């Protein structure tokens, strides 16, 4: 359906915490991009969640990581992902699946977003070489002063 916000374009939202963005996230963005005219990579601001990196830092890393991809926009948002989709004229949400645990929880969220706003979720399987990478594990490595440069995009500079 054509909406004023979409201008007839095929738009998708890729929501997440990106605390921090990893090469797994970046791979999903690159693989999803050919399917859409525009991809909005969106950091959800969840006031009850504790993050390792402040929102401004996570957003700056996202923007720097995808600055060479014209179809990608990085933003932050408050509230429901489904509402962001309507606001942005996005009919699709993109999510990555690493394992069956991801699949179990993502399925319910996808069905709820469809029930709420008619938004379809497109799942891309993590590539085998990225299936073990998560922001949680990267944070654990950082907390223990390990080198994470192999798991995060070049734009993510850590002291
Ligand atoms: P959230 O807190 O919403 O799960 P994340 O930043 O952890 O946010 O993940 C955002 C999305 O990226 C999720 O769909 C997640 O499954 C996907 N993702 C995370 N890591 C990877 C990876 N290594 N490969 C593929 N997809 C991934």
Amino acid 33: pLDDT: 97
How long a stretch of residues is the chain? 159
Q: Averaged in consecutive runs of 10 residues, what is the pLDDT profile of the chain (159 residues)?
A: 74 98 98 98 93 97 97 97 98 96 94 98 98 97 97 91
| pLDDT attached to residue 7 | 85
103 among known catalytic residues: no
**What's the CA-to-centroid distance between 152 and ligand 1, angstroms?**
13
The confidence score (pLDDT) of residue 3 equals 54
Q: How far apart are CA 82 and CA 117, in angstroms?
A: 6
60 Cβ contact list (under 8 Å, min separation 6) = none
Pocket test for ligand 1, best of 24, 80, 137 (most atoms within 8 A of CB): 24
Q: Report the separation in Å between the CA atom of 1 and the middle of ligand 1, taken as the mean of its atom positions.
A: 28
Total-model pTM: 0.95
d(CA 19, CA 2): 34
Judged by DSSP in three states, 58 sits in: helix
> Whose Cα sits closest to atom 18 in ligand 1?
96
pLDDT at 158: 80
Residue 49 annotated to the active site: yes
Closest residue to atom 16 of ligand 1, CA basis = 96
- Domains parsed from the chain with CATH numbers: 11-143 (3.40.50.620)
* Ligand 1 geometric centre to CA of 85 (Å): 18
């Amino acid at each position: 359906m054509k909406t004023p916000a979409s201008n007839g374009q095929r738009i998708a939202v890729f929501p997440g915490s990106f605390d921090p963005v990893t090469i797994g996230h970046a791979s999903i963005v690159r693989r999803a991009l050919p399917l859409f005219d525009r991809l909005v990579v969106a950091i959800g601001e969840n006031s009850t969640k504790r993050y390792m990196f402040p929102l401004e830092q996570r957003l700056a890393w996202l923007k720097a990581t995808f600055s060479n991809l014209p179809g990608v926009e990085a933003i932050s948002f408050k509230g429901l992902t489904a509402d962001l989709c309507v606001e942005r004229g996005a009919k699709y949400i993109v999510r990555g699946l690493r394992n069956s645990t991801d699949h179990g929880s993502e399925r319910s969220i996808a069905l709820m977003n469809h029930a709420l706003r008619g938004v379809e979720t497109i799942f891309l399987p993590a590539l085998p070489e990225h299936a073990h990478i998560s922001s949680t594990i990267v944070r654990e490595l950082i907390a223990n002063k390990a080198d994470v440069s192999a798991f995060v995009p070049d734009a993510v500079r850590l002291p």
